[in-house]
């Protein structure tokens, strides 16, 4: 089990975090369409490979979450994608859920699927080089939601997933994402997120998951994206830390936030504020998708052959996130 703890620490320590490049083909197609690039297998690989072979990987990225298509691809250098990632010092990981589907009996909510046949898929991913995995549960906030049913059902699935992943020698990322959509206040986000995370650990413990060999990937505590009451970054950090201190068992080695629709700069600034006042033993770092890739994708879309320019853009973002994970980010450095 200390082996799993070592993997988790390798991914999260020393100013490193996770690059979430595990968009499903549907989501990646949406992202590419938005910048007018055709979503072919070659283009999806080219963009991802450009990031995976950048300088920023070496210092700032401890783990990369891949999608099923990508983990099976080869890079231009003929290395497999997991080999390319390992050669930069990062750990290859894989998204193993099969997506969020309508929850029977509460059709406005979602339940994440993918447990059937999971043991066999995990064995295959391990052979391909994966050493950690991701499963994302999603929850909406409104007066009636998330329901007790969705909180319980998703926690149960996350626990069954985590136990299977550890059985197969990998570190599970437990991702309960309470979505930003809505007019709710940060206090409501705090209350609902606390309830969701507590239930996840209740189930993980029931399923005898070794928490030292897991990583939590939560949302930060923010007001809803349509809410009118803005709060400053310090307050976001205080509420986020209060929530995690009250709901995450101390054995968990680290917490890697999702960006969830924050801009690249907000995601860096808020993570930095969290680390400026982090009075816990948890490592607090990033597992960003959009907040690590957005500007690089935009740059790349203008000329998909401009590898260096795309990598420079990504390197800057990765450096900003790395500084934020150490409480060393500032608006001045951001502009340089
Ligand atoms: P974002 O950082 O874009 O929210 O993506 C992270 C992720 O992996 C969501 O599951």
Q: Of 218, 220, 254, 219, which is closest to residue 234 (Cα–Cα)?
A: 220
Pocket test for ligand 1, best of 258, 295, 318 (most atoms within 8 A of CB): 258
| Cis peptide bond prior to 211, omega within 30° of 0 | no
Span 108-155, pLDDT tens digits: 999 999 999 999 999 999 999 999 999 999 999 999 999 999 999 999
Span 25-36, pLDDT tens digits: 999 999 999 999
- End-to-end alpha-carbon separation of the chain, Å? 43
- Alpha-carbon distance of 101 to 113, in angstroms, equals 7
C-beta of 11 in contact with ligand 1 (< 6 A): no
Domain range annotation of the chain: 2-335
C-beta of 218 in contact with ligand 1 (< 6 A): no
What proportion of the chain, given as a percentage, has pLDDT over 90?
98
Pocket test for ligand 1, best of 18, 20, 96, 255 (most atoms within 8 A of CB): 20
Residues carrying an active site annotation: 175, 217
Q: Is the pTM of this model over 0.75?
A: yes
C-beta of 260 in contact with ligand 1 (< 6 A): yes
Quick check: 1 pLDDT over 80?
A: no
Domain covering 2-335, topology: TIM Barrel (3.20.20)
Q: β-pairing, 100-103 with 106-112?
A: antiparallel
C-beta of 289 in contact with ligand 1 (< 6 A): yes
């Amino acid at each position: 089990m200390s082996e799993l703890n070592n993997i988790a620490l390798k991914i999260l320590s020393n100013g490193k975090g996770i690059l979430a490049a595990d968009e499903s083909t549907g989501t990646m197609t949406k992202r590419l369409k938005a910048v007018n690039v055709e979503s072919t297998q070659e283009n999806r690989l080219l963009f991802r490979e450009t990031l995976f072979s950048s300088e920023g990987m070496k210092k700032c990225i401890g783990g990369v979450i891949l999608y099923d298509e990508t983990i099976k691809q080869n890079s231009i250098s003929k290395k497999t994608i997991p080999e390319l990632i390992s050669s930069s010092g990062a750990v290859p990981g894989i998204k193993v859920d099969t997506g969020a589907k309508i929850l029977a009996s509460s059709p406005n909510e979602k339940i994440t699927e993918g447990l059937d046949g999971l043991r066999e898929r995990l064995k295959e991913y391990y052979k391909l080089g994966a050493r950690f995995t991701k499963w994302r549960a999603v929850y909406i906030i409104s007066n009636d939601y998330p329901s007790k049913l969705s909180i319980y059902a998703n926690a149960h699935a996350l626990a069954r997933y985590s136990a299977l992943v550890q059985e197969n020698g990998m570190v599970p990322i437990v991702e309960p994402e309470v979505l930003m959509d809505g007019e709710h206040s940060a206090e409501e986000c705090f209350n609902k997120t606390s309830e969701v995370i507590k239930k996840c650990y209740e189930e993980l413990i029931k399923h005898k998951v070794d928490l030292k060999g897991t990583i939590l990937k939560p949302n930060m505590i923010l007001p809803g994206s349509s809410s009118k009451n803005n709060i400053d970054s310090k307050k976001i950090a205080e509420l986020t830390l209060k929530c995690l201190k009250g709901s995450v068992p101390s054995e968990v080695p680290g917490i890697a936030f999702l960006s969830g629709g924050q801009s690249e700069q907000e995601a860096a600034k808020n993570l930095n504020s969290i680390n400026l006042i982090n009075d816990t033993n948890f490592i607090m770092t990033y597992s960003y998708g959009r907040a690590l890739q957005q500007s690089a994708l935009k740059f790349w879309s203008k000329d998909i052959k401009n590898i260096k320019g795309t990598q420079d853009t990504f390197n800057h973002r990765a450096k900003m996130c790395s500084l934020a994970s150490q409480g060393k980010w500032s608006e001045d450095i951001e502009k340089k």
